Amino acid sequence: MQLSFDAVGELPPASPVVLSVPHAGRDYPLPLHDALRVPLTALTVLEDRFVDQLALAARRDETAIVQRVARAWIDLNRAEHDRDPRLDDGAPAGHLSAKVRSGLGLVPRRTTASGELWRRRLEGDEVVARIASVHRPYHEALAAALTAAKARFGVAVLLDIHSMPPIAGSRTRIVIGDRFGRSASHRFVRRMEAAIAARQHEYSLNVPYAGGYILERHGNPRQHIHAIQLEIDRSLYLDGRLDRPGTGFGHIAALVRNIIDGLEEEALDQSTALAAE
């Protein structure tokens, strides 16, 4: 089976820091084209536009799991049960999360700009097939990389890299998410804050993005596996149309590199402390 993502770097990882880029995929399967009721270009708002290139430019020897298939096909940052009954015939009954109610469930149903995206409902088996072929393999690869990093270093840190549209009325350009302290030790967040502040960017912690299913599933600080989400304003590294890499790309790639360096240094310090216990 052909994988829907690229696994870049060594396994076991050469660094305790593992990179995840789940929302930058630009591959749109043919059945998706056939089911659309809007132009394909309407789906690009769901992409973390070119943040995969940003992450790979910042990467040195870290293991990275980078999704190629578009988020419109299936969203890796949603749980398998986050299925939308207004779109998916196999959606389970019961409580719906706020994301599902808004149309941004496991398979996105709508966007604010374009409204409803699909000409027809999805059969339950279609979504099950996407889970089996795309969603589960990505998370299995990510879990394997984190487990191997922890086995080698005694600690592992997942940096889940995303981008966001500019936040209207806010000076915040970068958001750090740790699920309000549940997915990572604060010492790692402090290192990220220091790297961002050194570049004089305004940032916030957990507002408006605290991290989603990827952090919930993979972060386990008590077991020395920490997971943090990084959201970067697209205007910092894309052109004026927020479509292609722009003049700020190199500066932000260097910032992401500094963040990774800080996380790695903190992880190796913790690894040394654990080994001495």
The alpha carbon of residue 240 and the mean position of all alpha carbons in its chain are separated, in whole angstroms, by 23
- pLDDT band for position 93 (50/70/90)? confident
Q: Is the pLDDT of residue 276 over 80?
A: no
Preceding peptide of 12 cis, ω within 30°: yes
Q: Which two tokens stand for residue 258?
A: 């500094």
DSSP summary character for residue 46? G
Residue 259 has pLDDT above 80, yes or no: yes
pLDDT of residue 127: 98
Biggest CA pair distance of the chain: 60
At 119 the pLDDT is: 96
Quick one: DSSP state of residue 14? S
Instruction: Evaluate if residue 272 carries a pLDDT over 90.
Output: no
Q: What CATH number belongs to 5-78+131-276? A: 3.40.630.40
Grouping H, G, I as helix, E, B as strand and the rest as coil, residue 248 is: coil
H-state helical runs in 50-185: 51-58, 98-101, 124-130, 136-153
Q: How far apart are the first and last CA of the chain?
A: 44
Write out pLDDT tens, residues 145-166.
Answer: 999 999 999 999 999 999 999 9
Could you report the per-residue pLDDT of 97-110, keeping only the tens digit for each? 999 999 999 999 99
Mean pLDDT score of the chain: 96
Q: DSSP of 199-245, one letter per residue?
A: TT--EEESSS----HHHHHH-BGGGTEEEEEEEEEGGGTB-TTSSSB
**What pLDDT is recorded for position 1?**
66
Residue 203 Cα to chain centre, angstroms? 18
pLDDT at 277: 67
pTM reported for the whole predicted model? 0.97
- Listed in sequence order, the residues at least 6 apart from 214 whose beta carbon sits closer than 8 Å to its beta carbon are 20, 22, 76, 77, 139, 142, 158, 160, 227, 229
At 164, is the secondary structure helix, strand, or coil?
A: strand
**pLDDT at residue 2, as a whole number:** 85
Q: What are phi and psi of 36, to 5 degrees?
A: -70, 140
Q: How confident is the model at residue 269 (pLDDT cuts 50, 70, 90)?
A: confident
**203-232 mean pLDDT:** 98
According to DSSP, the residues that pair with 205 across neighbouring strands are: 176
Residue with token string 């005694």: 154
Q: What distance in Å separates the CA atoms of residue 134 and residue 69, rounded to the nearest whole number?
A: 8
Check residue 95 and give its pLDDT.
Answer: 86
DSSP 10: -
Residue 139 phi, psi (nearest 5) = -70, -35
pLDDT tens digits along 18-54: 999 999 999 999 999 999 999 999 999 999 999 999 9
For residue 131, what is the DSSP state? I
Identify the residue with better confidence: 91 or 277: 91
Q: What is the pLDDT of residues 173-217, one digit of tens each?
A: 999 999 999 999 999 999 999 999 999 999 999 999 999 999 999
